[in-house]
Every structure is written in C-alpha cells, then in structure tokens.
Structure 1
Amino acid sequence: MVRRVREGERLQLVDGTGGTAEVAVTATGKKDLTARVETVEQLPAEEPRVTVVQAIPKGERADLAVEVLTEVGADVIVPWAAERCVGVWRPERAERSLARWRATAREAAKQARRAFVPEVTEQADTTRVAELLEQASVPVVLHEAASGPIGNLPIPGRGSIVVVVGPEGGISEAELAAFAAVGAEPVRLGSSVLRTSTAGVAAVAALLARTRRWS
C-alpha cells in the first residue's frame, strides 16, 4: 500500500537511535516532499534493556519472530544456532539470512513508530548465549517443564533482561546445563506450549508490563 502525504500533514521522523523530529509537510511532488521541522528530540535508551536470544525458526516463522519482538519492545535480538534448531544458517546463506532479519526489524520498528531500531547481532552459539545470561541482571530461560513461573522473577528498574527462546524441538539437556552453570534456571510462561516464533513476544510482554517502560 502506498500512503499519499498531503500538504499540511504532520509526520514523525526517527533515525533509529533515539532521534525524533516532528515535521509539517509544506509541499509535495511525485517523488519528493518538503517539510518544515517543528520539534527535534533525542530520547534516552529505555531501561531495563531487553535482549532476546531467539533460536532460529524455520522459514517465514523467523520473520514473524523478529517482527513481533521488535513491535513489543526488544532492544537486541540474537539469532541462536541451538542444537535442535530446524532452521539452520549454513555458511553460504548466513549473511543473507542475517540481512533479512535486520531488514525485518527496521520495517517493524517503523510500523510500531519506535524511536530505536533493535540491534540484530551476528549468529550466536550456546557458549555465547551462556555469557549473555551470566552478564544479565535478570536471566530468563523459557522451558515448558520448568517449575517456576515467569511472574516470580524480580524485575529491576535498570540493568538488563536476557530472554532465551528455544527451538521447536526444545532446549537440550546440555544447553540447559550450560545455562544453569551461570545461574540461569528455566521458567515457564503458563500451561500452554507456545511456538518458538511467539513465545518470545509473550515473555517480553509479561516482563515489560512490570517495568516503568510500560507504566
């Protein structure tokens, strides 16, 4: 769909790193427009910062995962080559797949009118994921068999939250052991088992609802 901007309309522009400007359109052409800048603001990064480690889904479910994580407020998205991933980024396709995730995040940020576009990092292995969990203020590993609910986790006003979302086949015992070794015990979302493409957005929403970011 093409949206036709008319003279007199007001637009909000963002640079993806917190910079915003409100402008009034003064003239339009077939391929360009002229606008008057009315306000400019540099927004601070929101806290707590949320990183989602997303096990690589298969096919279009990867696009869905990145899209909804961006819309809900994830600050960093980390593609994870988990042991049981159905989707695999082979060397010859890794660069193209990463570029697609980043493009999806940019477009979703525009749709959501976010001042910040999430950072999509290089593909991570389990060792790197364990490091991220160890550094987090609140490490969150989603697992349907966990005894404790996500609602019991303490949420800080500052710092960082790292959420690990496993693949369709689940997080392996070896991966759970690696995460437990750095103090990250699994938690559950509820009685339902969500798909890997939607579990992350549910978890982030449940956590952000208890922070000042959503207050």
Structure 2
Amino acid sequence: MPRFFIDMPLAAGQLVDLPPEVAHHIHVIRLGPGDPLTLFDGNGGQYEAVLADVGKKRATAEVRTFDPREAELPYPVTLAQALPEGTKMDWIVEKAVELGVAAVQPLAARRCVVRLSAERAEKKLAHWRAIVVAASEQSGRNRLATVAEPAELRDWLAAGSAAPRLLLTPRATQTLADWARATPPQPVTVMVGPEGGFTDEEEQEALRQGAIGVAMGPRILRTETAGLAVLAALGMAWGA
C-alpha cells in the first residue's frame, strides 16, 4: 500500500488536502477515489486512509483508523559522518534511515574534500531531509530521523555528548563486537571519518574528549560503508 508523509498533525476523521508532490505521485501511479493509502505525520504511528478525490494537481484523502505501529530501534543511534565526496552522503543518509538511524550529524574534518558554503550547506540540508522523508516512506518508519546542520569536527567534539561516542578507527584495541557485548543497549553516537579517515590529531582529540575507539575488524571499510555496517552490527548485537 502506498505510504506518504504529511507535514501536519493527522487525526481520524479528517479530510486532508494532500501536498502537491504527493498529489502528483498519486496521479503518476494512477490511484483513484476509493483507493487505500497509508499516511503518517512523523509523530509516531500511522493512519489508514482512502482517496476521496483526485485531480491532475490535487488530491484529497479521508483519514480513517490510527495504527500505533512503530519501526524504531529501541536505542537511538546518531551517525556523525564526515562529509564524503560527490553524492555519497545522499546514499549514506538513505541507507542509514532504512537501518533505523535516529539522527545524522554531518561533520567537516581535515581530510574532507567537500567544503560547503553557507548557501550550499542550506541546500544540501534541505536535500538530505527530503531523502529522509522518502526513505521513511519506503522503509515503513513513522518517525523522521533528524539531519543537523554541518558542523566543524572540533566544535562538535567540544560541545560534548550525553551518549557514548564510538570512534571508528583501525588503530583501536577493541572491536565494536566486543564493546557491544559488554555494553547494555543505550543511545550511542557513531563517528565515521572521510575518505582517508580522521587524522591522527583528530583521533587523539576525540579520545581526549571521551570518545571510545572501536574497530570493525581486520578490513578497512569505505566511508560510505562503515557507518551502515555499525548500524547493522548493533542491530544484531542489541536487537533491532
């Protein structure tokens, strides 16, 4: 059944004018009055609805029953991802949402090739948040992951964190698997470096600020693979 995010509070019994982009998609996939669909507003749970009226550029749905189902991880995971080259961040955000990430924090590290101006950062942020919506619609999640504004690594580290920060580094003496087995499920932040990794100085500063170094094993993962592998591994170790 088609699922759509609606950026407004929903309630059973409402007659809702669907956003233009949703109405366009409904027209493209040739849905008509009486066809069922699922709507969610990002506040948890979802609503079963039926199309009441469909035009070329508009559509109206009748919101019916509320379903409280959730698809969130029982422990919020934040992915602190150093900005990679090209469109890799798009793929990382999409797949991280599918794997249950609660938040994404883009970071500017020394070896990052990408340097975003304020204008480009604003456009990228809107683009990544749109990817979150699309990935949530596809994956059955009813709450939207947040994407924070890009931050300089040193500033982000200095701000501190209530949750443990896991620094992915091949120089760590413990593996993620060992750490997860010895640690109860809890909120956690995963730090992933850019192509080439964090510099030695950045890793040392992260460790001084309380980060926990962990390795993924004997193989070196690409920046677009590492964070996703951690999300999957934590899901296996702690339960998804």
Normalising to structure 2: TM-score of the pair?
0.77
Distance 2:95 2:187 in 1: 20
How large is the Cα RMSD of the aligned pairs? 2.4
**8 Å contact from structure 1 (residues 134, 184) kept in 2:** no
Report 1:31-42 matches (<5 A): 31-41=57-67
One-letter amino acid matched to 1:69: A
Match of 1:125 among 143, 152, 158: 152
1:34-68: CA deviations, max 9, x gaps? 44433225567753111110100111112111111
Match of 1:80 among 85, 101, 107: 107
Match of 2:42 in 1: 16
Corresponding position: 1:148 with 2:189: no
Match of 1:106 in 2: 133
Gaps of 5+ in 2: 1-24
Query: Which secondary structure state, in structure 2, belongs to the residue aligned with residue 40 of structure 1?
Result: strand
**8 Å contact from structure 2 (residues 73, 100) kept in 1:** no
- Flag the 1:133–1:165 CA change in 2: closer, same or farther, 3 A: farther
Q: Deviation of residue 79 (structure 1)? A: 0.6
More divergent stretch after superposition (46-55 vs 120-129): 120-129
Query: Which secondary structure state, in structure 2, belongs to the residue aligned with residue 58 of structure 1?
Result: coil
Q: How many residues align?
A: 211
- Flag the 1:71–1:131 CA change in 2: closer, same or farther, 3 A: farther
Gaps of 5+ in 1: none
Greater RCO (Cα-Cα under 8 Å, separation 6 or more) = 1
**8 Å contact from structure 2 (residues 81, 192) kept in 1:** yes
Match of 2:15 in 1: none
Normalising to structure 1: TM-score of the pair?
0.85
Distance 2:66 2:189 in 1: 32
Report 1:1-215 matches (<5 A): 2-41=28-67, 46-131=73-158, 134-136=161-163, 138-154=164-180, 155-157=183-185, 159-212=186-239, 214=240
Query: Which secondary structure state, in structure 2, belongs to the residue aligned with residue 135 of structure 1?
Result: coil
- Flag the 1:105–1:132 CA change in 2: closer, same or farther, 3 A: farther
